[in-house]
Amino acid sequence: MSKGRFGIHGGQYIPETLMNAVNELDEAYNYYKEDPEFNTELTELLNEYAGRPSRLYYAKKMTEDLGGAKIYLKREDLNHTGAHKINNVLGQVLLAKKMGKTRVIAETGAGQHGVATATAAALFGMECEIFMGKEDTIRQALNVYKMRLLGAKVNAVESGTATLKDAVNEAMREWTTRIADTHYVLGSVMGPHPFPTIVRDFQAVISKEIKQQIMEKEGRLPDAVVACVGGGSNAIGAFYHFIEDKKVRLIGCEAAGRGVDTFETAATIATGKLGIFHGMKSYFCQDEYGQIAPVYSISAGLDYPGIGPEHAFLHDTGRAEYVSITDDEAVEAFEYLSKTEGIIPAIESSHALAYVKKLAPTMDKDKIIVVNISGRGDKDCAAIARYRGENISE
């Protein structure tokens, strides 16, 4: 079995042209992750530039309203650039710089990873090119402007379904064309080894902080950690340091779109099957001949036909649970948190909140749920207004 396996999942299913590049990345990462200087620099960036540690906020009104378990919000939305994406990007761009790369490329769905990459590229003085599905450039026009403002070139991808999957295809094609000076900053815990491991390690700061913060506030571990899952980077970040704590339920919330019994869904665990795509073996939404299915979700960040290999493994072993949340439920949760706590969450994170709304009332008042607010919802306001039939201009 090849490198980077999580059970049967993972691996390196990529063209030969990229093999030396991923092997070099693997070596460099293994060296720098143990390098005290690299770690000091990264911590400094995360704290002073990105604003970590992010708060663990007790959502008192939401807790009282739902009348069950105590709910804590992990406020990744307060990070610089507005989402958890910056954690991984600062790590990878710093690594790329150490490797002597002068240019970074990235795919983006909702635009949060693209904005984070463009931000880090500006900070480090690197050239930056972002690939984004044409459909998503329309849904997330504000983020396209931000990326350009930050000095990045944004390529609207028109192939396939013109969403996140196609943006990954195009970023991979671009990387095979120009490898020597370019690092591909993959935005989620997916793709060929070592990406699922690198991205997980850089996002694991989320669960490391949650653990410390909840011990300070409650003197014990939470009963459940809930996060939304597209590729799965914020979820694995929120889960990672709890995997060995078997009593902590880990719950990933997939995007069901218009429902898992329709074709307009992006819920991979619920509707997908084992396959090989985008460099990894994992679960994918696909037809009987292995053609990747055109998925759909209101959330551009969850609109992806696969799931990271470590999540596939956590599903196989039963260590994590995966549930699906529809567009309607997510939009309702988006509005609910805004009105109840004065916090506008990303539509992605709203999928996790929607599940917490169902879960909390079924649990006793002495139980604790931590939900990861992976990003802020400013980017989604116009789209949600449109969803509610209100046409506002950004």
Partner 1 sequence: MRIADAFNKRKAFIAFITCGDPTLEETEKILLEMEKGGVDLIELGIPFSDPTAEGPVIQGANIRALSGGVTTDKIFEMVRRVRPNLSVPLVFMTYANVVFSYGVERFARTCAEIGMNGIILPDVPFEEKHEFSDVFEKYGLDFISLIAPTSEGRISLIAQEAKGFVYCVSSLGVTGTRDSISTNVSQIVDRVKAVTDTPAAVGFGISSPKQAAEIAKYADGIIIGSAIVRLIGQYGTEAHEKVFEFTKDVRNALDSIEK
Q: Which of 6, 9, 14, 111 binds partner 1 (CB under 8 A)?
A: 14
For the question of residue 332 being annotated catalytic, the response is no
Is there binding between residue 176 and partner 1 (CB under 8 A)? Answer: yes
Q: Which of 60, 148, 153, 178 binds partner 1 (CB under 8 A)?
A: 178
Cβ-based nearer residue to partner 1, 291 or 391? 291
Is there binding between residue 244 and partner 1 (CB under 8 A)? Answer: no
Token duo for residue 79? 């990070």
Secondary structure letter of residue 55 according to DSSP? P
Query: Closest Cα to residue 63, out of 349, 374, 356, 323?
Result: 356
Is there binding between residue 177 and partner 1 (CB under 8 A)? Answer: yes
Virtual torsion, Cα 82, 87, 91, 97, nearest 10 deg: 0
For the question of residue 107 being annotated catalytic, the response is yes
* Main-chain phi, psi angles of 16, to 5 degrees: -50, -35
Q: Which of 21, 89, 150, 331 binds partner 1 (CB under 8 A)?
A: 21
Q: Is the Cα dihedral 10, 349, 76, 129 positive or negative?
A: positive
Is there binding between residue 17 and partner 1 (CB under 8 A)? Answer: yes
Cβ-based nearer residue to partner 1, 244 or 289? 289
Secondary structure letter of residue 47 according to DSSP? I
Binding positions for partner 1, 116-175, rule CB under 8 A: 159-160, 165-166, 169, 172-173
Is there binding between residue 7 and partner 1 (CB under 8 A)? Answer: no
Is there binding between residue 273 and partner 1 (CB under 8 A)? Answer: yes
Contact (Cβ atoms closer than 8 angstroms) between residue 350 and residue 331: yes
* Main-chain phi, psi angles of 356, to 5 degrees: -60, -35
Is there binding between residue 282 and partner 1 (CB under 8 A)? Answer: no
Cβ-based nearer residue to partner 1, 53 or 187? 187
Cβ-based nearer residue to partner 1, 99 or 385? 99
Contact (Cβ atoms closer than 8 angstroms) between residue 10 and residue 18: no
* Catalytic residue of the set 74, 85, 211, 357: 85
Any bridge partners for residue 283, and if so which? 274
Single-letter residue type at 161:
T
Token duo for residue 161? 């379904």
* Catalytic residue of the set 74, 101, 107, 348: 107
Is there binding between residue 292 and partner 1 (CB under 8 A)? Answer: yes
Is there binding between residue 284 and partner 1 (CB under 8 A)? Answer: yes
Contact (Cβ atoms closer than 8 angstroms) between residue 236 and residue 200: yes
Q: Is the Cα dihedral 255, 258, 261, 263 positive or negative?
A: negative
Virtual torsion, Cα 40, 42, 47, 48, nearest 10 deg: 90
For the question of residue 379 being annotated catalytic, the response is no
* Catalytic residue of the set 135, 297, 374, 379: 374
Active site residues: 85, 107, 374
Residues of this chain that bind partner 1 (CB under 8 A) = 2-3, 11-21, 159-160, 165-166, 169, 172-173, 176-179, 273-279, 284, 286, 288-292
